[in-house]
């Protein structure tokens, strides 16, 4: 074997192998030293090239010469604040890594994400592959495949051929209010933040596959889903900025660290539920069923796609809405005047059933202002969601951005821009949505909508999230 290998010739000028030189003469230490030297030389030269490619963008020094700044920011769990500060300090397009920029310019975000854009999802989205072995709509970067997937699910998500979105949410609200009532009866404190997560997880599982997980009914973290997700989320965020880690984690040695359908608890358990549900549904005739999964299948989703999309619904549709409810409730608890104003509006509203309908809620101006302000002050998704500049590059406001650069956006910075929201942008003040001119409100609304992304990649669950917010805030605040 060694004899055969010794016949090989290498092209490196400083390591020309000749037939006279055998591997037997090269010690292991030499080989390791050589490998390290080559790796270091490659690393330094590629870092220098990368540095020069984007040298016209300012940012923290460490971010200009390495990815360490980005790594430590994302790993700290405070990156949403770092990205905001960076855009304030270094300008509206700032550098946060060797190949990474971040912007707080809403017009630029719309330019990158509009339906005709030449930008594409960057490798950031590889980290969104919740099932390590298959893509979902959110992690799909190939635009043809992504559009095809979206079109199979659009009708289900907007409720066009689904009958039961509102009744299902109502039924979960009743269970949730009963749970809160039981704490009130016992006069024991309740962790509202955690119970809200239980609520949104039950709603989304009910909508996704026809039955709530049972978080509210059992008043427990079923399958330790929340605990595991909270533990693993920082790792997921690190993978979004260093996607090559995914390849490493998928290697036979480290694969055991990833969730698997064989797990009894955590995300792996949810994966196995999604698998069973999808398999079951494909055995049935779903032509007449009127729920989301049936709609997806009717529009051509395959069993493997269905499995991944159920998982995506749960991952993308629970913590996001829970964050919006929790942060808005926190603001209401800390601003009694606002809470009382909302209560007065609800008390005088025309509500036909025991739970307000989505239509009725949309007619309450102060409620709508509170919801928008809650989403503005705490946008639930604050990751970079970077898009890749087309190969020929792009010019924005006279500045050239080389092809292949990853450009993310700081939603935290966008929703705090004083030129859009006013000098009191840091304050929770629903009145800003009611007392400004129609043109200003229009500008604010179209900027706020970026919390759900935009155009080609607009959140598919936006309608559902807003229905949930409309209903639950009325129930909890009244
Ligand atoms: C307030 C709550 C929510 C917010 C702020 C939010 C925000 C977002 C954002 C920013 C994206 C990323 C789009 C991109 O740039 O690629 C997204 C994607 C997505 N969201 Fe939401 N979301 C929310 C609730 C939901 C809910 C309740 C569901 C499910 C019922 C959902 C399902 C999805 C799906 C399926 C995608 C992938 C869309 C695509 O790839 O084309 N979201 N969402």
Query: Separation of 348 CA from ligand 1 center, angstroms?
Result: 33
| pLDDT tens for each residue of 323-364 | 999 999 999 999 999 999 999 999 999 999 999 999 999 999
Half-sphere exposure of 72 (CA within 13 A, CB side): 6
In the chain, % of residues over pLDDT 90:
67
Element (H, E) at 101: strand 100-103
Q: Which atom of ligand 1 is nearest to the CA of 136?
A: 40
Query: Separation of 55 CA from ligand 1 center, angstroms?
Result: 34
Name residue, tokens 């689904």: 162
**Can you spell out the DSSP letters for 338-402?**
HHHHHHHHHHTS---SSS--HHHHHT-HHHHHHHHHHHHHS-S--S---EEPPTT-EEETTEEE-
C-alpha 176/C-alpha 399 separation (Å) is 52
Query: Separation of 127 CA from ligand 1 center, angstroms?
Result: 15
Q: How confident is the model at residue 7 (pLDDT cuts 50, 70, 90)?
A: very low
Query: Separation of 104 CA from ligand 1 center, angstroms?
Result: 20
Residue 426's contacts (CB-CB under 8 Å, 6 or more residues apart) are 416
Residue range 389-406: mean pLDDT, rounded: 98
Q: Determine the residue of 461, 465, 472 to mutate for testing ligand 1's pocket, defined as the one with the most ligand atoms within 8 A of the Cβ atom.
A: 461
By CB atoms closer than 10 A (0-12, 13-18, 19+), residue 18 is: exposed
Query: Separation of 320 CA from ligand 1 center, angstroms?
Result: 8
Q: If you take atom 11 of ligand 1, which residue's CA is the nearest one? A: 459
Task: Identify the residues whose C-beta falls under 6 Å from ligand 1.
Answer: 137-138, 150, 204, 312-313, 316-317, 320-321, 324, 380-381, 385, 451-453, 457, 459-461, 464-465
CATH architecture of the domain 143-477 equals Orthogonal Bundle (1.10)
C-alpha 352/C-alpha 67 separation (Å) is 56
Q: If you take atom 6 of ligand 1, which residue's CA is the nearest one? A: 452
Query: Separation of 466 CA from ligand 1 center, angstroms?
Result: 12
pTM as predicted: 0.89
Contact 342, 367 (CB under 8 A): yes
The count of other CB atoms within 10 Å of the CB of residue 303 is 12
Residue range 83-88: mean pLDDT, rounded: 98
Residue 477 has pLDDT above 60, yes or no: yes
| pLDDT tens for each residue of 178-233 | 999 999 999 999 999 999 999 999 999 998 878 899 999 999 999 888 988 888 88
Q: Which atom of ligand 1 is nearest to the CA of 149?
A: 41
Show me where the domains of the chain are located: 2-47, 143-477
Q: Any long-range contacts for 245-248 (C-beta under 8 Å, 24+ apart)?
A: 246/126, 246/127, 246/129, 246/132
Query: Separation of 475 CA from ligand 1 center, angstroms?
Result: 24
C-alpha 425/C-alpha 450 separation (Å) is 17
Strand, helix or coil for residue 52: helix
Q: Determine the residue of 111, 115, 320 to mutate for testing ligand 1's pocket, defined as the one with the most ligand atoms within 8 A of the Cβ atom.
A: 320
Task: List residues bridging with 396 in a β-sheet.
Answer: 399
Residue 441's contacts (CB-CB under 8 Å, 6 or more residues apart) are 433
C-alpha 439/C-alpha 368 separation (Å) is 17
| pLDDT tens for each residue of 247-256 | 777 777 777 7
Contact 369, 66 (CB under 8 A): no
Task: List residues bridging with 400 in a β-sheet.
Answer: 395
The count of other CB atoms within 10 Å of the CB of residue 262 is 9
Contact 289, 318 (CB under 8 A): no
**Can you spell out the DSSP letters for 72-96?**
HHHHHT-HHHHHHHHHHHH-SEEE-
């Amino acid at each position: 074997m060694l004899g055969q290998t010794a016949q090989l010739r290498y092209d490196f000028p400083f390591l020309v192998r000749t037939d006279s030189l055998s591997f037997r003469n090269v010690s292991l230490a030499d080989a390791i030293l050589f490998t390290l030297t080559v790796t270091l030389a490659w690393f330094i030269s590629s870092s220098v090239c990368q540095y020069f490619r984007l040298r016209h963008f300012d940012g923290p020094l460490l971010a200009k010469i390495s990815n360490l700044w980005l790594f430590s920011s994302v790993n700290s769990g405070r990156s949403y604040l770092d990205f905001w500060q960076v855009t304030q300090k270094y300008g509206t397009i700032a550098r946060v890594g060797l190949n990474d920029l971040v912007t707080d310019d809403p017009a630029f975000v719309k330019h990158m994400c509009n339906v005709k854009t030449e930008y594409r999802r960057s490798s950031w989205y590889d980290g969104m592959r919740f099932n390590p072995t298959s893509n979902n709509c959110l992690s799909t970067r190939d635009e043809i495949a992504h559009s095809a997937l979206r079109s199979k699910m659009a009708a289900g998500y907007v409720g066009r051929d689904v009958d039961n979105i509102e009744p299902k949410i109502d039924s979960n609200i009743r269970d949730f209010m009963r749970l809160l009532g039981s704490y009130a009866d016992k006069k024991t404190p309740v962790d509202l933040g955690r119970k809200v997560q239980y609520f949104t997880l039950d709603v989304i599982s009910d909508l996704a596959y026809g039955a709530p997980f049972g978080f509210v009914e059992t008043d427990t973290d079923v399958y330790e889903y929340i605990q595991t997700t909270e533990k693993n989320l920082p790792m997921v965020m690190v993978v979004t900025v260093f996607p090559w880690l995914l390849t490493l984690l998928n290697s036979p040695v480290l694969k055991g660290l990833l969730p698997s359908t064989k797990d009894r608890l955590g995300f792996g358990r949810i994966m196995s539920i999604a698998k069973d549900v999808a398999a079951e549904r494909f055995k049935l005739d779903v032509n007449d069923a009127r729920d989301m999964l049936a709609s997806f299948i009717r529009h051509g989703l395959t069993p493997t796609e269905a499995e991944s999309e159920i998982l995506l619904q749960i991952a993308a549709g629970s913590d996001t809405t829970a964050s919006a409810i929790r942060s808005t409730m926190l603001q209401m608890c800390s601003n009694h005047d606002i809470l009382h104003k909302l209560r007065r509006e609800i008390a005088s509203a025309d509500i036909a059933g025991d739970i307000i309908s989505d239509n009725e809620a949309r007619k309450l101006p102060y409620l709508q202002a509170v919801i928008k302000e809650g989403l503005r002050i705490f946008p639930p998704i604050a990751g970079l969601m970077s898009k890749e500049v087309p190969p020929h590059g792009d010019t924005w406001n006279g500045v050239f951005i080389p092809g292949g650069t990853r450009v993310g956006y700081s939603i935290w910075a966008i929703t705090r821009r004083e030129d859009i929201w006013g000098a009191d942008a840091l304050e929770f003040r629903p009145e800003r949505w009611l007392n400004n001119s129609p043109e200003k409100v229009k500008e604010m609304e179209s900027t706020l909508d970026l919390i759900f992304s935009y155009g080609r990649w607009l959140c598919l669950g936006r309608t559902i999230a807003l229905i949930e917010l409309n209903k639950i805030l009325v129930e909890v605040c009244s």
